[in-house]
Amino acid sequence: MLSTVSAASSKEQLSIPEVKISRSIRSATDSSGLQLTLYQYQSCPFCCKVRAYLDYHGFSYDVIEVNSVTQAEIRWSKYRKVPILVCRDQDNRTLVQLNDSSLIVSLLSSYLLNRSESVTKLQSYYPAIETKNSRGKTVFEFPNKYFMMHGETGSVTDDRKEERHWRQWTDGVLVHALSPNIYRTPAESLQAFHHFSDAGDWQNTFGTPKRLFIIYVGAAAMYFVGRILKKRHNLKDDVRESLYDACREWSVAVHNAGGKFLGGDRPNLADLAVYGVLSSIDGCNAFEDVKQHTDIARWFFAVKKCVAANAGQPMASSDRLALPAV
């Protein structure tokens, strides 16, 4: 049975407990008026995608690192996947829970296009469809998550259609090649988790016993998960080749676009999505191999520089889209 549910809730309805903030990102260029808290795994490709977007556009936000084994920090939420972005709207009272990385990016982009629309109102344009999968587990789908929303009319440009195509490709193709590669062998799985521990500052966030538990239990579990995902997503026997193929496909798309990025002179949402997902494995053996066997490195580090510099600017009115027909 399908049902449509809203992800917007007040703090009282959500009953969000006080949780230690892992770190705070503050940007002098943030004029959004929003207070954002990101619940994440440091190494999750979808979380990395959201952070790339937030950093590129110069948002200030707090980060709460979620224990990937116990998920204690998000037990308050019916939606149990990360990233979750909790946003205090412009009235400084209403809390809105935003789920799904692509929805978060689209909604915040809609907000930057038209700040007269509140986040609460924009969130209503992204209803969640709740259903049960074949194993009886509750899953949520967000049909509009690749669209930007606002009240003006206009045409959807070919550039926007291409951007949306590659954002969907990132979630539907590229991301599935990551886990089987970084967890390809027990040694690579352990190396990846040690890297994630360092990148996420797990020592200070969780302490030594929990950190070691996450590293060794997580590495062992994900080695077997990686093998399952390899079969599920029909990757090649040498999973590295599937990852190389995806990166080469993207590189060809950027080259054919004729600019430094798919978006031209500056990264668009597709550039940020691909970069964010790949940044999740930057530092792992798999990404070192990608840099050696494909030509994606120049593009990757160009986007990385833009993200680090908070290079995103408010979108011009000419970039605005019409509300999509769904």
Q: Is residue 261 annotated as part of the catalytic site, yes or no? A: no
Q: Give the active site residue among 46, 59, 261, 287.
A: 46
Residue-by-residue DSSP string for 110-139: HHHH-TTS-HHHHHTTS-EEEEE-TTS-EE
Determine which one of 39, 44, 59, 300 is catalytic.
44
Catalytic residue check, 284: no
**Residue 317 DSSP symbol:** G
Give alpha helix (H) positions in 30-172.
45-56, 101-113, 119-123, 158-172
Beta-carbon count within 10 A of 317 CB: 10
| Residue 48 annotated to the active site | no
What DSSP assignment string belongs to 209-272? HHHHHHHHHHHHHHHHHHHHHHHHTT--SSHHHHHHHHHHHHHHHHHHHTSSBTTBSS--HHHH
Amino acid symbol at 11: K
Question: Exactly one of 41, 59, 125, 126 is catalytic; which is it?
Answer: 41
47 is catalytic: yes
Cβ contact 74:82 at 8 Å: yes
C-alpha–C-alpha distance, residues 140 and 5, integer Å: 9
Exactly one of 47, 87, 247, 306 is catalytic; name it: 47
- Residues labelled catalytic: 41, 44, 46-47
